[in-house]
């Protein structure tokens, strides 16, 4: 039995815009262990959501995927797959906005039971019983009553729980999360994160969690991958990355986050804006905004170099980083 | 008297079908979105307003701005009461920056037209000075003047939010209300906007009211924080004290629930269980009671008011100043 469940190698996503093509994800590689939770962090437009959606084959039409995706379905070594092989069989995804992701014309119970009906051939009644059971598992109070409700009758937190129940209905080995808590209040966010954490330990599920919120990733994830302009610039165990970032972009992100502690000093922020995917700068793509940039940064090829076991950075001058605070 | 005084402001909305109510011969259901909120702010002070969605924080902001009618209570600015009918000059003094800069800017107007229209209608500067003033406003929010002729769609999210701030500042307001002004932005973009708000407050002596659900952000920009729960203020204290030692169980729970950067905690273990009840069916006594770890018999009968050892340190809980630790 292999201890890896997912391998992504040199993933490249090309979008055809009609008059030109862009490559918003450009050579992303990572692996995911069984039961592991990987967080992918980065700003809007860095390609983190596209990377996630490509794993389950939900890219917009016209997108071309190069590179290799391998998934271990039955405890064997990971093998290459087609999207149809894993949708409903092993991989599920939950999205940010549960109102737009849930079909508004279906009752919640039917929505959750749809997966088992299609993929396991359950009958109407059996599917309904399964749906109520799943709703109970994700902590929806009075599931029998709520199963007959429509999505619009539920609060945001409950809708997100319904989406999680839908994702779990096909007993996935891997759950992909696309900013599922961004639209929620902190208290509800905390409940949903706790729910995901509980499901993960109970079912031994692996998770890839995409978010722009480093603090959220820090709670749920074991390992972190920081993305910038279509590439992974740093990976490592969450605690180590937070304690000692090895890439200037990670450091800059951390300096931008206001903390609970004393409010002295100014937040750093990052000057400029992420590069346009139509014209990525040569060499290190963060170099134009980097406070440590040196001359060779704009020419060196992108390579994730290991700095310690399990940690890697794409920065060629990681020694010059000053650290946060 | 403080510069901005909000006294017992209550905002009510009629909800549901008026026809159904008439058929049933009942008064239409009324939702009390803001229920007797009072606070004051001095000139140049920054007030943070925190709470979950639906707690009425945005409605309160709109009531102060004059965008929503006030059912009872009053808003005083600089010693004068602001009524529901405000003239142009009064409206000018309180301005708002909204959450989503892409939907709050007119997509068919260039930034210059947008700002010039305000300056012209409100007669802020003489006609021949309008162009200069537009350029000054762009400098003020740290945007290049070359963007004056751009339409909003050409701008990034952070730039749009700066335009939103410039638009509010064009009217030379004395109070600036930022309603979730950074919630839609990436952290790297959020930080400079927060810095900008802070420096504008210092340079222009603006009174800032900052509304957010993000406690860390509120901490960063506010001198004082009002925590709201279901239309009521549950805690009103200086930011430093509040974050150091929250007294209301709701504030404590909110803080425990927020993921803290660089501090590992297990999610889902915060004291805040369930969701806020509907504002149409409030529990008796203290409205936080059903979710409160401290709830006792007295909480069922008596709704606690804001009280505390001093005028500036107040919390609305029977046990706020007695219970030492909440687990």
Quote the ipTM score. Answer: 0.80
Span A158-174, average pLDDT: 92
B165 within 8 A of B157, measured Cβ to Cβ: no
Residues facing A75 on adjacent strands:
none
Of the candidates B296, B314, B313, which has an alpha carbon nearest to the alpha carbon of residue B305?
B314
A55/A93 Cα distance (integer angstroms): 10
- Chain B, residues 242-281, CB within 8 A of chain A, namely 243, 253-270, 272-275
pLDDT of amino acid A25:
95
Q: Cα distance from B11 to chain A (closest Cα, Å)?
A: 23
Decide if A189 and B217 are in contact by the 8 Å CB cutoff.
no
pLDDT class of B18 with cuts at 50, 70, 90: confident
Of the candidates B137, B224, B134, B218, which has an alpha carbon nearest to the alpha carbon of residue B180?
B218
**Which position has the higher pLDDT, B327 or B144?**
B144
Q: Which candidate in A255, A269, A290, A291 is best for mutational testing of the B interface (most B CBs within 10 A)?
A: A269
Q: Cα distance from A266 to chain B (closest Cα, Å)?
A: 7
B315/B227 Cα distance (integer angstroms): 9
* Per-residue model confidence as pLDDT tens digits over A26-80: 999 999 999 999 999 998 889 999 999 999 999 988 899 999 999 997 777 898 9
B89 within 8 A of B124, measured Cβ to Cβ: no
pLDDT class of B142 with cuts at 50, 70, 90: confident
pLDDT of amino acid A258:
83
Q: Checking DSSP bridges between strand A37-41 and strand A223-228, what pairing results, if any?
A: parallel
B59 within 8 A of B12, measured Cβ to Cβ: no
Residues of A in contact with B181 (CB under 8 A): none
- Chain A, residues 221-250, CB within 8 A of chain B, namely 239, 242-243
B231 within 8 A of B35, measured Cβ to Cβ: yes
Q: Residue B241: closest CA among chain A residues belongs to which residue?
A: A262
Map tokens 């006609």 to a residue.
B127
pLDDT of amino acid A208:
97
Query: Radius of gyration (Cα) for chain B, nearest Å?
Result: 21
Cα dihedral A241, A247, A248, A253 in deg (nearest 10): -40
Cα dihedral A44, A185, B103, B198 in deg (nearest 10): -80
Give the torsion sign (CA, B39, B44, B45, B46): positive
pTM of the model: 0.86
Backbone angles phi, psi at A79, to 5 degrees: -125, 160
**Which position has the higher pLDDT, A265 or B65?**
B65
Span A230-255, average pLDDT: 93
A323/B130 Cα distance (integer angstroms): 46
Please give the DSSP secondary-structure letter assigned to residue A312. E
Residue A265 has pLDDT above 70, yes or no: no
Span A222-245, average pLDDT: 95
> B132, exposed or middle or buried, with CB in 10 Å at 0-12, 13-18, 19+?
exposed
**Which position has the higher pLDDT, B177 or A182?**
B177
Lowest mean pLDDT across A95-99, A112-116, A212-216, B303-307: A95-99
pLDDT class of A263 with cuts at 50, 70, 90: low
pLDDT of amino acid B327:
40
Q: Cα distance from B183 to chain A (closest Cα, Å)?
A: 10
pLDDT class of B324 with cuts at 50, 70, 90: low
For chain B, which residues make up each domain, given as ranges? 4-315
Of the candidates A283, A201, A272, which has an alpha carbon nearest to the alpha carbon of residue A34?
A201
Q: Of 3.40.630.40, 3.40.50.720, 3.40.50.300, 1.10.443.10, which CATH number belongs to B4-315?
A: 3.40.50.300
Decide if A269 and B195 are in contact by the 8 Å CB cutoff.
yes
A217/A209 Cα distance (integer angstroms): 7
Decide if A242 and B262 are in contact by the 8 Å CB cutoff.
yes
pLDDT of amino acid A76:
79
Domains in chain A, start-ordered, CATH in brackets?
A: 1-90+173-259+267-325 (3.40.50.300), 102-171 (no CATH)
Return mean pLDDT, chain B: 88
Backbone angles phi, psi at A133, to 5 degrees: -60, -45
pLDDT of amino acid B208:
95
A207/B247 Cα distance (integer angstroms): 37
pLDDT of amino acid B326:
45
Q: Residue B186: closest CA among chain A residues belongs to which residue?
A: A43
Q: How far is CA B324 from CA A270, B68, B319, B327, in A?
A: 41, 40, 9, 10
Q: How far is CA B190 from CA A39, A212, A263, B157, B181, in A?
A: 21, 12, 15, 10, 9
Q: What is the 3-state secondary structure (H, E, C) of chain B?
A: CCCEEEEEEEEEEECCCHHHHHHCCCCCCEEEEEEEEEEEECCCCEEEEECCCCCCHHHHHHHHHCCCCCCEEEEEECCEEECCCCCHHHHHHEEEECCCHHHHCCCCCCHHHHHHHHHHHCCCCCHHHHHHHHHHHHHHCCCCHHHHHCCHHHCCHHHHHHHHHHHHHHCCCCEEEEECCCCCCCHHHHHHHHHHHHHHHHHHCCEEEEEECCHHHHHHHCCEEEEEECCEEEEEEEHHHHHHCCCCHHHHHHHHHCCCCCCCCCCCCCCCCCCCCCCCCCCCCCCCHHHCCCCCHHHHHCCCCCEEEECCEEECCCCCCCCCCCC
B182/B178 Cα distance (integer angstroms): 9
Please give the DSSP secondary-structure letter assigned to residue A277. T
């Amino acid at each position: 039995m292999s201890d890896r469940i997912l391998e992504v190698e040199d993933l490249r996503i090309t979008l055809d815009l009609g008059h030109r093509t862009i490559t918003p994800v450009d050579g992303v590689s990572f692996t995911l262990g069984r039961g592991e939770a990987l967080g992918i962090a980065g700003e809007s437009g860095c390609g983190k959501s596209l990377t996630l959606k490509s794993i389950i084959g939900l890219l917009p039409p016209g997108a071309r995927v190069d590179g290799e995706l391998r998934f271990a379905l039955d405890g064997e070594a990971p093998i290459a797959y087609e999207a149809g092989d894993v949708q409903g069989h092993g991989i599920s995804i939950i999205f940010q906005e549960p109102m737009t992701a849930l079909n508004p014309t279906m009752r919640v119970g039917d929505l959750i039971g749809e997966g088992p009906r299609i993929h396991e051939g359950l009958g109407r009644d059996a599917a309904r019983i399964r749906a109520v059971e799943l709703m109970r598992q994700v902590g929806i109070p009075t599931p029998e009553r709520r199963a007959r409700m429509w999505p619009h009758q539920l609060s945001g937190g409950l809708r997100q729980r319904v989406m999680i129940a839908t994702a779990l209905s096909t007993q996935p080995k891997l759950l992909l999360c696309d900013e599922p808590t961004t639209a929620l209040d902190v208290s509800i966010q905390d409940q949903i994160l706790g729910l995901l954490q509980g499901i993960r330990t109970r079912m031994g599920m692996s998770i890839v969690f995409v978010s722009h919120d480093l603090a959220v990733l820090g709670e749920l994830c074991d390992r972190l991958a920081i993305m910038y302009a279509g590439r992974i610039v740093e990976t490592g165990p969450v605690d180590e990355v937070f304690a000692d970032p090895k890439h200037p972009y990670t450091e800059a992100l951390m300096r931008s986050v206001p903390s609970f502690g004393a409010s002295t000093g100014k937040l750093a922020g990052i000057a400029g804006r992420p590069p346009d995917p139509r014209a990525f700068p040569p060499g290190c793509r963060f170099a134009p905004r980097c406070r440590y940039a040196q001359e060779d940064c704009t020419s060196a090829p992108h390579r994730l170099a290991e700095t310690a076991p399990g940690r890697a950075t794409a920065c060629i001058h990681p020694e010059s980083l000053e650290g946060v605070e | 008297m403080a510069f901005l005084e909000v006294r017992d402001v209550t905002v009510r909305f009629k909800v549901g079908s008026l026809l159904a109510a008439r058929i049933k011969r009942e008064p239409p259901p009324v939702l009390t979105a803001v229920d007797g909120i009072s606070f004051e702010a001095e000139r140049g002070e920054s007030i943070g307003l925190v709470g979950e969605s639906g707690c009425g924080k945005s409605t309160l902001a709109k009531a102060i701005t004059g965008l929503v009618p006030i059912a009872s209570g009053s808003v005083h600015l600089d010693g004068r009461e602001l009524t529901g009918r405000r003239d142009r000059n009064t409206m000018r003094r309180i301005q708002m920056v909204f959450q989503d800069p892409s939907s709050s800017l007119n997509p068919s107007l260039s930034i210059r037209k947008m700002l010039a229209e305000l300056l012209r209608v409100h007669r802020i500067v003489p006609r021949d000075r309008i162009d200069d003033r537009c350029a000054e406003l762009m400098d003020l929010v740290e945007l290049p003047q070359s963007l004056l002729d751009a339409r909003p769609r050409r701008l990034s999210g952070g730039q749009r939010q700066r335009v939103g701030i410039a638009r509010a500042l064009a009217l030379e307001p004395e109070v600036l209300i930022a309603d979730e002004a950074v919630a839609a932005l990436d952290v790297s973009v959020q930080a400079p906007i927060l810095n900008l708000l802070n420096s504008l407050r210092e340079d222009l002596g603006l009174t800032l009211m900052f509304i957010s659900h993000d406690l860390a952000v509120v901490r960063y920009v506010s001198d004082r924080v009002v925590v709201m729960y279901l239309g009521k203020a549950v805690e009103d204290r200086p930011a430093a004290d509040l974050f150091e030692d929250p007294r209301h169980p709701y504030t404590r729970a909110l803080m425990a629930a927020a993921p803290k950067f660089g501090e590992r905690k297990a999610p889902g273990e915060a004291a805040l269980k369930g969701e806020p009840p509907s504002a149409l069916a409030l529990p008796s006594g203290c409205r936080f009671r059903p979710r409160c770890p401290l709830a006792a018999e007295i909480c069922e009968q008596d709704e606690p008011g804001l009280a505390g050892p001093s005028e500036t340190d107040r919390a609305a809980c029977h046990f706020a100043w007695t219970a030492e630790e909440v687990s």
